[in-house]
Amino acid sequence: MKCNSESLNYQESELLFLLSPKTQSTFWLSLQNIWQNINRYFNTSLELQVWRMVDHQGNIWWSAYNPKTKQSVNHISEEQMRIWIEQNYR
């Protein structure tokens, strides 16, 4: 089968898009979020759950879930997380 140069260029650009750092970063962030939601769903523990996420710009964000009260907080700074824990998890 013979490929013309236009078809080859499209395939190359599609491959470059799939391999771009931004695309890879977004994919891994989405995968991380899906895993955390699955873990939260199946976790029957009543202990406070806290996790850290890093966005594609390298910023660190914290999220937490209290299964006893069903309260959660998402994408906040470490300082805000400490305050939330002190106020809501005693």
Question: What pLDDT is recorded for position 2?
Answer: 47
66 is in which domain, residue-wise? Answer: 5-88
- Number of separate domains in the chain: 1
Q: Is the per-residue pLDDT at 88 higher than 60?
A: yes
CA dihedral 11, 17, 18, 22 (to 10 degrees): 180
Alpha carbon distance 81, 73 (integer Å):
8
Question: What pLDDT is recorded for position 23?
Answer: 57
Q: Name the token pair of 61.
A: 């964000």
50 vs 13, more confident = 50
User: Beta 71-76 vs 49-54: how paired, if at all?
Assistant: unpaired
Q: What is the mean pLDDT of the chain?
A: 76
pLDDT by residue (tens digit) across 30-73?
888 888 778 777 766 788 889 998 888 889 999 998 888 889 99
Question: What pLDDT is recorded for position 24?
Answer: 59
